[in-house]
Amino acid sequence: MYSLTSANRYYLYQGFVRMNLGIDGLFKIYTIGNEGRWNRKGLNY
């Protein structure tokens, strides 16, 4: 049986991980989509 605090911590952690994965995925899609433009400008991240 989980206590309220550990259950809350688990759900907060899961939400935090999903949020970070979503931001990271969007950032990768954005950088891949603009790769040609960035490379022409000489900005290689």
pLDDT value at 1 more than 60: no
Q: What is the mean pLDDT of the chain?
A: 74
Q: What proportion of the chain, given as a percentage, has pLDDT over 90?
A: 0
5-41: string of b/e by CB count within 10 Å (b at 16+)?
eeeeeeeeeeeeeeeeeeeeeeeeeeeeeeeeeeeee
pLDDT bracket for residue 16 (50, 70, 90): confident
